[in-house]
Amino acid sequence: MKSRSLHLRQLPSAVDGRDDSRHSSIITPHSSLNSRTRILGIDPGLRITGFGVIDKLGSNLIYVTSGCIKTAASDDLASRLKTILDGLHEVIAGEQPDQVTIEKVFVNKNPQSTLLLGQARGTAMCAAVGRDLPVSEYTALQIKQAVVGNGHAAKEQVQAMVRRLLALAGDPSPDAADALACAICHAHGGQGLGKLATAGYRMKKGRLV
């Protein structure tokens, strides 16, 4: 039996001092319960696949859960892909998302690494379409632009802005933060920072303050 590691991380909300991460209101004070859309964001990777789930209610975003699916380096490729597939099936069954969004693969200097990343990404897409869920794709630049306002932002900036936009009491892991950022980008149509519901914030040097 091959090992499979699914790490689900639920962060406490910073709103009203509550400890319930699954129902924390954010960004704007008004929402319509009838317009709720649950979005699963996925940051694919062969070693670590991050996932993040948020609810969109009108112009509000609500953090639901996030975490990582980790594969064992000692396993063969097929087993590692199965770990990702099974882990995402578990997340989808448990959280019942309406839509899925995945970060697009990029081409790096190592063709083998690009190929492996593409296989992990294809597995993630299969997990979604196998459940008849619509899948949207965004580049890392689009995601960072939507969340941070800077398409070349560092991972630490993405973590900080995800924490702020979702009113979390702590930073999610880098992979989970990227998945949540992907979901946030999709929630606002893949638009830049100017399209986000950012009442009460202002821009300074390309970042929300």
What DSSP string describes 46-67? SSEEEEEEEEEETTEEEEEEEE
Known catalytic residue at 43: yes
> In terms of C-beta density within 10 A (0-12 exposed, 13-18 middle, 19 or more buried), how is residue 30 classed?
exposed
State the pairing for strand pair 36-43/48-57.
antiparallel
Query: What's the domain count of the chain?
Result: 1
Residue (of 123, 155, 121) closest to 138 by Cα position: 121
Q: What helix, strand, coil percent values describe the chain, rounded to 5?
A: 40, 25, 35
Candidate list 16, 75, 175, 178, residue with the active-site label: 175
pLDDT tens-place string over residues 50-93: 999 999 998 899 999 999 999 999 999 999 999 999 999 999 99
Dihedral, CA atoms, 39, 7, 166, 160, nearest 10 degrees?
-120
- Average pLDDT (124-145) is 93
Known catalytic residue at 103: yes
Candidate list 16, 19, 20, 43, residue with the active-site label: 43
CB 91 within 8 A of CB 41: no
Whether 12 shows a pLDDT value over 50: the answer reads no
Q: pLDDT confidence of 99, banded at 50, 70, 90?
A: very high
Task: Give the per-residue pLDDT at 189.
Answer: 78
Q: pLDDT confidence of 195, banded at 50, 70, 90?
A: very low
Query: What range does the domain containing 80 cover?
Result: 5-208
Q: How far apart are CA 161 and CA 180, in angstroms?
A: 10
Angle (CA) 37 135 119, round 5°: 140
Residue (of 6, 37, 10) closest to 22 by Cα position: 10
Candidate list 95, 103, 137, 171, residue with the active-site label: 103
Q: What percent of the chain has pLDDT over 70?
A: 73
Query: pTM above the 0.75 mark?
Result: yes
Winning range, highest mean pLDDT, from 111-115, 181-185, 189-193: 181-185
Whether 151 shows a pLDDT value over 80: the answer reads no
Where residue 15 sits, what CATH number does that domain have? 3.30.420.10
